[in-house]
Structure 1
Amino acid sequence: MTASFQRARRPEQVEARRAAILATAREMLAERGVAEISLRELADRVGLAKSNVLRYFDSREAIFLEVLDQEWIAWLDAVEVAFAEVPPDDAEAVARQLADTLDGRDLLCELIAAMSGVLERNITIDFARVFKRRASANHDRLAALVLDRMPALDPASAAFFGGAVFVIIAGLWPYSRPTEVVTTVAAELGAPPDWADFRAHLAEGLANQLVGQVTRSNPPRPPRAS
């Protein structure tokens, strides 16, 4: 970065610096996992001192959560388009489209897997308020999209399913990316790579969850007394 850019103070220049930091974070996340990227390395790549990066983001984790929010919104845009082809109350089609729209979105899945256990552990209360409001809006949008395709659900069940989507992704993603050591030992034990097909297992898990939510939204009525 140039010296003039580093001295920038106008709002558009501040926003340009924030955008540069986020773009660098994306580049680094394409090379390695969240846990392997330090704030100092990120600052060096941007061309700023670590203290200067912290003027624009509260922490390393806040930077990655900003990237997550951007990826989340882009994914919801794709889901909205994909759902236009889904017939009403077809739980398997809804689940399959959700899984298909995540295919190739490794960055989003990586950040979802790290969100609660890692990234939300080192943020200020002010940033937490901002991020959780955005997350709530994204969650509500997903629930509304699902409810539109699954009118058999009640709103509370659609909201629960929206949260379950993230929980299932967060659980499956690490299992679908085992280390070389774990892969080697699993092969020695004759264990098949059961979780290697992330998309297929995600679709299965989401379909099972959604069918369960529909069933609980529409409990069978007791037989009438004769």
Structure 2
Amino acid sequence: MNHETSGGARVRHPPEPQFRRARRPEQQDQRRHAILAAAEAMLAEVPLEDVGLRELSRRLAIPKSNVVRYFGTREGVLLELLHRSLASWLDQLDRELGAGPCGIERLVETWARTLAAHPLLCRLWSQLATVLERNVSADSVHRFKLADLEHRRRLARMIHRCVPELDEEASLYVTRIAVVAVAGLWPFCTPTPTVVEATTDPRLADARLDFAAMYADILRITITGLLALPRDTAAG
């Protein structure tokens, strides 16, 4: 299904499953994938706050109740999209870092560069506490937090592998700071057109932020700072 934007361009949306009711497990998986793909396509076109279940169901030509059945709320859809985007980025980071120690500089450069290449993940991460974790059940948040912890443990193992001097507990602490850093930094690095226009003033050059460069600085300062602390205080 294609959709024409206000500018006349046609945007291709993901194909819909060729069945009216998902009965078998594989059909249910296809339906979940179709819903997530439609949500991702919407996020490429509209602000996050404009992504809603009604429009998702319209694009998929299924009842809104079907989307609710799989994800509960639109925040549930976005949490699952965040989960999948995070897993995809971690796969890439793991491949690029390699199997052995690589040092702080290679770690932070690769981490920041690959994360910047996943803007959907950064966008969702930046809205986690203020949007995505609202209007969802405690059970949904609990499941997400457990999955997120496993993702962060995987990331911590990569940190420890690259910088063995940083123990596993301290490496996990780095992942906590890293998530908060994305939430704070990403909105400033993706300003509105009005802010972009305003900061063309040379006197405001320091207001124009490069995400990968500043994020690498945050990671570098965090890791080197933890290494400089006494061992019994290095993990906060």
Q: TM-score category by the smaller chain?
A: 0.7 to 0.9
Show the 5 A alignment for 1:51-130: 51-84=65-98, 87-88=101-102, 90-130=103-143
Please provide the CA RMSD for this pair.
2.2
Q: Distance in 2 between matches of 1:116 and 1:158?
A: 22
Separation in 1 of the partners of 2:218 and 2:21? 51
Matched, 1:163 2:176: yes
Shift of residue 218 of structure 1?
A: 4.4
Which stretches in structure 1 are left out of the alignment for 5+ residues? 220-226
- CA displacement at 1:166 relative to structure 2: 1.0
Work out the percentage of aligned pairs sharing the same amino acid: 35
Is the Cα–Cα contact under 8 Å of residues 126 and 187 in structure 2 kept in the other structure? yes
Deviation of the 1:179 alpha carbon: 0.9
Aligned residue for 1:222? Answer: none
2:199 matched to which residue of 1? Answer: 186
**Match of 1:5?**
19
Which of the residues 138, 141, 145 maps onto 1:132? 145
Residues 209/24 of structure 1: CA separation in 2 closer, same or farther (3 Å cut)? same
CA distance in 2, matches of 1:180, 1:93: 33
Output the CA distance in 2 between the equivalents of 1:214 and 1:104.
28
* Secondary structure in 2 matching 1:55: helix
Give 1:152 shift. 1.0
Matched-pair contact (CA < 8 Å) for 1:99–1:202: yes
AA in 2 matched with 1:77: D
Aligned equivalent of 1:145: 158
Length-normalised TM-score, structure 1: 0.88
**Deviation string, structure 1 residues 75-94 (Cα, Å, up to 9, x no partner):** 11111112217744x22221
> Does the CA contact (< 8 Å) of 1:25 and 1:63 recur in 2?
yes
- CA deviations on 1:1-32 (whole Å, 9 max, x unpaired) are 88972223222222211111011111111222
Amino acid at match of 1:209: T
The residue number in structure 2 matching 1:24 is: 38
Match of 1:48 among 62, 65, 84: 62
Distance 1:163 1:3 in 2: 38
Amino acid of the structure 2 residue aligned with 1:190:
R
Partner of 2:50: 36
Q: TM-score, normalised by structure 2?
A: 0.84
Further displaced range: 183-192 or 94-103: 183-192
Match of residue 217 from structure 2: 204
Shift of 1:73: 0.8
List runs of 5+ in structure 2 lacking aligned partners.
1-14
Alpha carbons of 1:70 and 1:3: their partners in 2 closer, same or farther (altered >3 Å)? closer
Matched residue type, 1:56:
Y
Letter in 1 for 2:160: L
Amino acid paired to 1:183: V
Between structure 1 and structure 2, the one with the greater Rg is 1
Between the aligned partners of 1:145 and 1:99, the Cα distance in structure 2 is 14
Q: Compared with structure 1, are the counterparts of its residues 3 and 75 closer, same or farther at alpha carbon in structure 2 (3 Å cutoff)?
A: closer
Aligned length: 218
1:154 to 167, 180, 183: 167
